[in-house]
Amino acid sequence: MYKSKGFTLIELLVVIAIIAVLMSILMPALDKVKQQVKTVICQSNLRQWGLVMKYYTDDNKGRFFADIGLSRSYLKEFYKDDKLLLCPSAVRSYEEGAWCPFASHHYYDGLSSYGHNTWLCSEAVANRQTDDKMWKSMQIRGGYRIPMVFDCAGYQNASPWPEDEPPQYDGDFIQGTSFDEMRYVCINRHNGYINMVFMDYSVKKVGLKELWGLKWHRKWDEELAQAGLPVWPEWMENLPH
């Protein structure tokens, strides 16, 4: 009677080696797909934030809130799910061991990994702001260049200035200063990009080098022309424009 043989040790080792090679090929592709899914979910969150901002301004004669620091209390009635506060690439807080650009920050009684453009406010409330630079209202032309809500490294807002310096290394971020606040936004969260919803409600991936070319406040273009674009640190040199 014929008796079948099992696999030899060499055959098993060959099979294991083949599986290992296949895994090494597939894992980067799977990781890329996972990152793409997180990016899509993040953009979906920001589309919802665009609607939240629309609902709020529609109820307030087209005007934004006076103080961005109280935006959660102003906006809470216009959204129900706190998951909207978190980019899926940044759900853990700094206290939980996460770090920039993949960390969330405290947002009153919860966490958030998004921020608002402080220049939207109907009053100048942040350090160095002046009334003539505030957007105040949603009824503005050229809204496709005006940031509203975006991936953010700290607090729940940012007040960039044209002369702000970029992060000197990937993850360079200092909380608690009113200078270089572009570093709150210039974070490598989505492979050289962040996600952002603009005042025309469009949602786009924005390259980190493109951030200085947006129109954060009313006088941004003329002030940027005087300040000029920053010198890019080495880690940003090859990022997309």
1: pLDDT strictly greater than 60: no
pLDDT in tens, 4-61: 566 677 767 777 777 777 777 766 666 676 878 899 999 999 999 999 999 999 999 9
Residue 186 located in a structural domain: yes
Calculate mean pLDDT across residues 151-163.
88
Q: How far apart are CA 227 and CA 164, in angstroms?
A: 9
162: pLDDT strictly greater than 80: yes
Nearest in space to 39 (alpha carbons), one of 214, 201, 191, 235: 191
Calculate mean pLDDT across residues 185-194.
95
Residue 154 located in a structural domain: yes
pLDDT at 27: 67
Assess contact for 54 and 140: CB atoms under 8 A.
Answer: no
pLDDT at 82: 86
| Residue type, position 161, single letter | W
**Tokens 């960390």 correspond to what residue?**
103
What is the domain extent for residue 52?
10-236
Residue 1 located in a structural domain: no
| Selected residue with higher pLDDT from 186 and 30 | 186
Q: Place 177 in a pLDDT band, splitting at 50, 70 and 90.
A: low
pLDDT at 204: 96
Residue 230 located in a structural domain: yes
Q: How far apart are CA 113 and CA 190, in angstroms?
A: 13
Residue 78 located in a structural domain: yes
Residue 30 located in a structural domain: yes
221: pLDDT strictly greater than 70: yes
Q: How far apart are CA 219 and CA 54, in angstroms?
A: 24
CB crowding 65-80: b at 16 or more within 10 Å, else e: beebbebbebbeebee
Whole-model pTM? 0.85
Residue 5 located in a structural domain: no
Residue 3 located in a structural domain: no
Assess contact for 107 and 83: CB atoms under 8 A.
Answer: no
The number of distinct structural domains making up the chain is 1
